[in-house]
Amino acid sequence: MAAQPKKKLSRSRSRKRFSTKTFKPTKLGTCANCKKPVVPHTVCESCGFYKGKQVLKVAEKVEIKKVEKDER
């Protein structure tokens, strides 16, 4: 036999318990070099700096164009 609850939990009491299991939004900091929002303890994606040092070489974005096929 499994344990049974002694009293019925009210709706507010059970919702209070489940409210702690929600996802919290990630807190963003700002890059010291380019002032863009960045996740803490990670390299800035836009400039490649981390703790005031250049860590990554950031390449320029390349645009890909679609080539239309000739109809036969």
- pLDDT > 90: what percent of the chain? 49
pTM of the model: 0.52
Burial class of residue 44, CB neighbours in 10 A (0-12, 13-18, 19+): buried
Phi, psi of 45 (to 5 degrees): -75, -25
Please give the mean pLDDT across all residues of the chain.
88
Domain boundaries, the chain: 24-62
pLDDT digits (tens, 9 = 90+) for 39-63: 999 999 888 899 988 888 877 767 7
Q: Which pLDDT score, from 0 to 100, does residue 72 have?
A: 64
**For residue 14, is pLDDT > 80?**
yes
Mean pLDDT, to the nearest integer, of 27-36? 92
